[in-house]
Amino acid sequence: MNPPQTSETGLVDTPPSATSPSNSAREAAGTSALVPTFEKRSGRLAGLDGLRAIAVIAVVIYHFFPSALPGGFIGVDVFFVISGFLITGLLVSERTRTGRVSLRNFWQRRARRLVPPLVPLILLSCTAAWLIGGDVLVGLGAQLLGAVTFGYNWISIAGDASYFAADQPELFRNLWSLAVEEQFYVIWPLLLLAILLIRSARLRLAVVALLAVASMLWMGVLYQPGADPTRVYYGSDTHSFGLFTGAALALLLRRPAGLRNELPRLRPWLGGAALVGIGIAAAVLPEGGTETYRGGLAAVSVLTAVAIWAGVRGGGFGRALDVAPLRYIGERSYGIYLWHWPVLVLLQVGLPGPSTPLRVALIAVLATVLTLAAAGASYRWLEQPVRRDGIRGVVGRLRTLWGLHAKGRVLVAVLAVTVLLVSGGTAAALATAPATATAEVEIERGQQALDEAAKAAAEAAQQAASTPAPLPGGDLITAVGDSVMLASAAELQTTFPGISIDAAVSRGMYSAAGILEELARAGTLRPIVVVGLGTNGPIKADELIEIERVIGPDRKLILVNAYADRDWTEGVNASLADFSARNRLVELANWHDAIAPHTDLLAGDGVHPGPTGSQIYADAVTTALQRLAELPPQRLPGENRLQPAAV
């Protein structure tokens, strides 16, 4: 039987012909065989298609409706474990059968499997981006370099790109995981061959498990609470533990025949419990939370290994996972993963408008239909033929089709013209890509204003007398925010001279408490705190309560709501409005309603304000301050902030 091959998402490649029972029996008979449960018709490992389907569905929901499944990004970790499991099993099985591993053939199979589906994705997406124009083209050259070199993750890290930024229309952001896996495919066969020289099977397993633990611990060490976690999420060094966990599982299951049927009665229950655990993680793990990077993702990897074990060891669990709908999605999971993100980005920038639930749902439906269509076409007319016949075989079939009849020549000609057009569109996209996004221009203007203010303050401090002059009213305000506040920094400084602003790109509400606590510890947290962190993701009530705890009972708090074409915006604004309404010393700065009639004052991303829009931002804060100033005095000193004063 030809050994299965794995894709970027752990997709198993097998010949379309039926698996010979005698071949299957011979493979299962070897004491070093991987001992999977193969389905008779396809030669596929039981349960893995279903797991792949669950993983890709979680990732798609996370990207399409982030507030519905805030931890759906853990689907990538499920893919990692599947890939590590399959790749290791294939390499060890080849070495057992032949006494060697052909690295050249291995890497050729990887390239043949991964590269062909990428070509139409890149050409069509770049051409569509060129037709739309604007900010979606920014950084396209670096993205393509990352895609073709399988170094997308490290190029993004070097360029300070953020996986979790909602205000950057990065067309090929999802290719970071493809890069991590491909780097693993290059290094792991060499490392595994060295590990297999160890005579003790237990020691070999311990070495691989140690590699997984080392990657887990390194992620926890490098993670900084409150900071953007992209470095530890993208890093091949910090996010390879899932791949090593799968590799360890493959070695663990290589047992003599008499030791293969572990826990037959408990196995389906353990597999089901593992799936429940993965589902809970997808529902609750926060994208920027400490629990995610210091144990959460590692736990998902272990749970995935349990689910794989329960599926491939036989019984009803694997068959239940491979129910027809999940099987269909799992077979096409690589294409679905590749296409869903560029399609979503292109629809969002190509169909601008307010972030209403109807529009969000419409874009999600369109993106789903287009993704499934593109992935289905890729699977049927590109992936399967290349898998079956190879690149040369596909080219040969096209030549044969050209010589058969007129319809064949028309079809080949149309295909050739299409390739030329989208290649030209891709070249045009690269040639016309702007160096800087309009949003970045406004953000840079705000940063420049902050730098100039800091310089002026330093000069004033040097020239000041021993008794400094009283500062203007802005010296009472500490503002912490995201890139929208940063873009508005100049106007905030003009409106509130002396204001202290700590704003940065890609921040979320989860980072606020840590930043404010540092300021409070340093003694620089002022009596009025302005927080504008609703743009980049959903928020939780606990995050707002933690802000309240950090600033203490005597400071006033202004929460700036969000204006962005994002799924979570409505929920964020509702939470901020409710929290401010229930807390006496908290007021809402309604940036959303203030800018909604003036979206022409925003940058091309529809999120960041220009100078006039930034003044509207500052005016929204002013209005909130005025409402706080009109509060009647509390009846009792130290009154609970969460209880409104009696009128």
Give 4's pLDDT tier (boundaries 50, 70, 90).
very low
Of 59, 95, 88, nearest to 212 (Cα)? 88
The per-residue pLDDT for 387 is 83
pLDDT above 70 as % of the chain: 85
Top pLDDT among 389 and 350 is at: 350
Of 257, 245, 34, 72, nearest to 174 (Cα)? 72
Residue 606 DSSP one-character state = S
The per-residue pLDDT for 248 is 96
Question: 174 and 337 in contact (C-beta within 8 Å)?
Answer: yes
Structure tokens at 255: 């047992």
Top pLDDT among 453 and 198 is at: 198
Angstrom distance (rounded) from CA 386 to CA 117: 10
Give 359's pLDDT tier (boundaries 50, 70, 90).
confident
Give 630's pLDDT tier (boundaries 50, 70, 90).
confident
Angstrom distance (rounded) from CA 160 to CA 230: 9
Structure tokens at 387: 């898998």
Query: Does the pLDDT of residue 1 top 70, yes or no?
Result: no
Strands (E), 210-281: none
Q: At what angle do helices 201-222 and 176-195 cross, to 10 degrees?
A: 150
Q: How far is CA 285 from the centre of its chain?
A: 13
Query: Does the pLDDT of residue 46 top 60, yes or no?
Result: yes
Give 38's pLDDT tier (boundaries 50, 70, 90).
very low
pLDDT above 90 as % of the chain: 51
Bridge partner list, 12: 6
Q: What is the mean pLDDT of the chain?
A: 84
Top pLDDT among 81 and 315 is at: 81
The per-residue pLDDT for 460 is 61
The per-residue pLDDT for 437 is 61
Question: pLDDT, tens digit, for every residue of 261-272?
Answer: 677 788 899 999
The per-residue pLDDT for 542 is 87
Question: pLDDT, tens digit, for every residue of 130-152?
Answer: 999 888 898 899 999 999 999 99
Query: Does the pLDDT of residue 433 top 50, yes or no?
Result: yes
The per-residue pLDDT for 440 is 63
List, in order, residues 6 or more apart from 277 with CB less than 8 Å away.
299, 300, 303
Top pLDDT among 284 and 448 is at: 284
Using CA atoms, how far residue 476 sits from 112, 342, 498, 626, in Å, is: 62, 45, 8, 14
Using CA atoms, how far residue 20 sits from 116, 312, 334, in Å, is: 29, 19, 27
Question: 260 and 39 in contact (C-beta within 8 Å)?
Answer: no
The per-residue pLDDT for 450 is 72
The per-residue pLDDT for 357 is 83
Question: pLDDT, tens digit, for every residue of 533-557?
Answer: 988 888 888 899 999 999 998 899 9
> What CATH number has the domain spanning 438-458+473-630?
3.40.50.1110
The residue-averaged pLDDT of 52-71 equals: 94
Question: pLDDT, tens digit, for every residue of 272-309?
Answer: 999 999 999 999 999 888 999 999 999 999 999 999 99
Q: Where are the domains of the chain?
A: 48-257+268-432, 438-458+473-630
Angstrom distance (rounded) from CA 76 to CA 281: 13
Which ranges in 293-405 belong to alpha helices (H)? Answer: 297-312, 316-321, 324-331, 333-350, 357-378, 384-404
Q: Of 278-292, 320-334, 369-383, 403-417, which range is least confident?
A: 403-417
Q: How far is CA 348 from the centre of its chain?
A: 17
Q: What is the largest CA-CA distance in the chain?
A: 95
The residue-averaged pLDDT of 555-572 equals: 88
Question: pLDDT, tens digit, for every residue of 460-490?
Answer: 655 554 444 433 367 889 999 998 999 999 9
Query: Does the pLDDT of residue 334 top 90, yes or no?
Result: yes
The per-residue pLDDT for 473 is 60
The per-residue pLDDT for 642 is 47
The per-residue pLDDT for 150 is 93
Question: pLDDT, tens digit, for every residue of 491-518?
Answer: 998 899 889 999 988 888 988 998 999 9
| Number of residues that this document lists for the chain | 647
Top pLDDT among 578 and 394 is at: 578
The residue-averaged pLDDT of 218-226 equals: 91
Residue 476 DSSP one-character state = G
List, in order, residues 6 or more apart from 407 with CB less than 8 Å away.
none
Structure tokens at 528: 């009025």
Question: pLDDT, tens digit, for every residue of 78-126?
Answer: 999 999 999 999 999 999 888 888 999 999 888 888 999 999 999 999 9
Specify burial of residue 166 (Cβ count, 10 A radius: 0-12, 13-18, 19+): buried
Question: pTM for the complete prediction?
Answer: 0.73
The per-residue pLDDT for 632 is 65
Q: Of 51-65, 121-135, 400-414, 424-438, which range is least confident?
A: 400-414
The per-residue pLDDT for 27 is 34
